[in-house]
C-alpha cells in the first residue's frame, strides 16, 4: 500500500490481524515488517527466515486464517468492528505515533473518534472530592465539545466516564474488548457500549495483567490532545500516562491538592514540572482551543505508508549482527546510539533489531529505546 490511507480487502484484513497477533510482533515491528516486505501477507511469509537469522530455533506462533476469522466473527457477534491503521476511519491522533496499534477493536459508536479528545485520569483509590472534581471536569469538557477519554478503572476514571456519558465517552480497555475490568464496572461497561465507545488493542478474551496497563495508557494519551490528571500518587499509572503524553507531544494538566494527601503529590509534582494547573474545565479548554482550530486531517500523520524497500545485502548484515548484539545489554539504549556506536547505516541496524525481536531476544521501550532480553 502506497497511499496515506485506503480500504483493505478482506484478505488483507485477515493478514493484518494475523501479523498483529503473531508472537514477538509489536506495533513498531509490524510497521518495520510492512516497510520491508510491502504487505502483511509477504511479511507473514518472511517471518520464519527473519526469526532464524535473529537466532531463534523454534517456529514463531502465527495465528491461522481460521483463528483470525473466528476472532473477527466473535467481535461481529458482540456488535463491534475492527479498524486498521491503513484505513481512513482509524483515529488520526493515534495514527501519527510510532507505536500506534495496527489494529483496534471498537464497540459502540466509532464516529465519536472524529471529535477532539481530552483524557481525564487519576487515582483508583480516589477521594470523594477527587471523584466529584473528575465528574465535573468531564461534564464541562463534554459541554465544550471535547470527547472525554479514560481507562474505565476504579476511582477517577469511573467518575470521568460518568460525567461525560451523556455526550459520549471513550473507554480504553487493558484487556480484550469483551472482558469487563474491574468487574464492578459491568453496568458502566454496558452503558459506554450503548452510548459511547469501547476501544481495545488486545485480542478477544484477554484478561488484563500488569504489563497491559502501560500499553493501554499510551492509547489513552495518544487518542487525546491533552491529559488531565486528578489525584495521583508519586508512583502511579496516571503519571505514566502523563509522561507518555509528553513523549507524544500532548499537553499535560493537573489538579492541585493538599500537600499532606499522598494522592495529591503526583499532581503537585506535575505542576512543579510545568503541567498546566487546573481549577475548572476552562483552564483546559483555553489551552486546547488553539490545538483544535485546524482540522485533525491537516495534522502531520503517517498511516503506515510503505515505501519501496531498500534492503541491506546479506554479507553486510552478517558482519553487522555481532556488532549490534555486542553493543546491546539489558539496559535500554536509544536506537540512534546503536547506529552511531556501531558505525553502521540505519537500515542495517533496523534490520538486525527486527531479526532479534522476532527471535525473542530484543525488547522495545518507549522513546525509541531497545534492550537485550
Domain containing residue 198: CATH number: 3.40.50.450
pTM, to two decimals: 0.89
Q: Does residue 170 share a domain with residue 289?
A: yes
Residue 304 lies in a domain: no
The answer to whether residue 306 sits within a structural domain is no
Q: Which residues are CB-neighbours of 229 under 8 A, at least 6 positions away?
A: 121, 122, 238, 239, 241, 242, 252, 253, 254, 255, 266, 267, 270, 275
pLDDT at 310 > cutoff 80: no
Angstrom CA distances, 360 to 22, 143, 179, stand at: 12, 47, 28
Rounded to whole angstroms, the Cα distance separating 180 from 173 reads: 9
Structural domain boundaries, residue 16: 10-91+100-106
As a whole number of angstroms, the distance between CA 101 and CA 21 comes to 11
Cβ neighbours for 146, distance < 8 A, ≥ 6 positions apart: 115, 116, 117, 118, 285, 288
Cβ atoms within 10 Å, residue 19 = 25
Compute the mean pLDDT over every residue in the chain, rounded to the nearest whole number.
91
Backbone dihedral angles phi then psi of residue 313, each to the nearest 5 degrees: -75, 155
Would you state the pLDDT for residue 292? 53
**Whether residues 166 and 283 fall in one domain:** yes
Q: CA-CA-CA-CA torsion for 333, 335, 337, 341, nearest 10 degrees?
A: 110
> Is cis: bond before 182, omega within 30 of 0?
yes
Q: How many domains does the chain have?
A: 3
Answer yes or no: is pLDDT of 3 > 90: no
The answer to the question of residue 33 being in a domain is yes
Is 114 or 367 the better-scoring residue by pLDDT?
Answer: 114
Domain identity same for 256 and 169: yes
Residue 297 scores a pLDDT above 50: no
Is the CB of residue 270 less than 8 Å from the CB of residue 229?
Answer: yes
Instruction: Name the nearest CA neighbour of 72 among 172, 171, 177, 175.
Output: 177
CATH number, domain of 344, equals 1.10.10.10
Instruction: Say what percent of the chain tops pLDDT 90.
Output: 80
Q: What is the mean pLDDT of residues 61-83?
A: 97
Q: What is the DSSP letter of 79?
A: T
The C-alpha cell of 193 is what? 457500549
Amino acid at each position: 500500500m502506497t497511499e496515506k490511507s485506503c480500504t483493505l480487502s478482506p484478505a488483507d484484513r485477515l493478514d493484518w490481524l494475523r501479523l498483529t497477533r503473531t508472537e514477538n510482533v509489536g506495533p513498531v515491528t509490524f510497521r518495520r515488517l510492512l516497510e520491508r516486505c510491502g504487505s502483511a501477507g509477504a511479511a507473514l511469509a518472511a517471518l520464519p527466515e527473519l526469526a532464524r537469522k535473529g537466532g531463534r530455533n523454534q517456529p514463531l506462533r502465527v495465528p491461522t486464517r481460521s483463528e483470525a476469522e473466528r476472532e473477527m466473527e466473535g467481535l461481529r457477534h458482540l456488535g463491534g468492528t475492527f479498524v486498521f491503521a491503513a484505513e481512513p476511519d482509524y483515529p488520526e491522533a493515534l495514527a501519527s505515533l510510532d507505536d500506534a496499534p495496527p489494529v483496534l477493536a471498537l464497540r459502540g459508536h466509532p464516529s465519536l473518534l472524529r471529535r477532539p479528545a481530552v483524557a481525564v485520569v487519576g487515582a483508583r483509590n480516589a477521594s470523594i472530592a477527587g471523584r466529584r472534581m473528575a465528574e465535573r471536569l468531564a461534564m464541562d469538557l463534554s459541554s465544550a465539545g471535547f470527547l472525554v477519554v479514560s481507562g474505565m478503572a476504579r476511582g477517577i476514571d469511573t467518575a470521568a466516564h460518568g460525567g461525560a456519558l451523556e455526550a459520549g465517552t471513550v473507554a480504553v480497555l487493558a484487556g480484550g474488548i469483551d472482558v469487563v475490568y474491574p468487574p464492578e464496572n459491568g453496568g458502566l461497561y454496558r452503558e459506554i457500549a450503548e452510548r459511547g465507545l469501547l476501544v481495545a488493542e488486545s485480542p478477544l478474551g484477554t484478561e488484563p495483567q500488569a504489563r497491559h496497563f502501560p500499553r493501554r495508557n499510551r492509547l489513552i494519551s495518544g487518542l487525546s490532545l491533552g491529559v488531565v490528571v486528578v489525584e495521583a500518587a508519586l508512583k502511579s499509572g496516571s503519571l505514566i500516562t502523563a509522561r507518555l503524553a509528553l513523549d507524544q507531544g500532548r499537553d499535560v494538566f493537573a489538579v492541585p491538592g493538599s500537600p499532606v494527601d499522598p494522592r495529591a503529590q503526583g499532581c503537585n509534582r506535575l505542576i512543579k514540572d510545568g503541567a498546566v494547573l487546573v481549577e475548572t474545565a476552562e483552564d483546559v479548554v483555553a489551552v486546547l482551543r488553539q490545538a483544535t482550530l485546524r482540522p485533525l486531517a491537516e495534522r502531520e500523520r503517517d498511516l503506515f505508508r510503505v515505501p519501496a524497500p531498500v534492503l541491506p545485502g546479506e554479507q553486510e548484515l552478517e558482519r553487522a549482527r555481532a556488532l549490534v548484539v555486542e553493543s546491546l545489554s539489558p539496559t535500554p539504549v536509544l536506537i540512534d546510539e546503536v547506529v552511531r556506536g556501531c558505525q553502521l547505516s540505519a537500515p542495517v541496524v533496523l534490520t538486525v533489531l527486527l531479526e532479534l525481536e522476532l527471535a525473542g531476544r530484543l525488547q522495545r521501550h518507549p522513546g525509541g529505546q531497545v534492550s537485550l532480553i
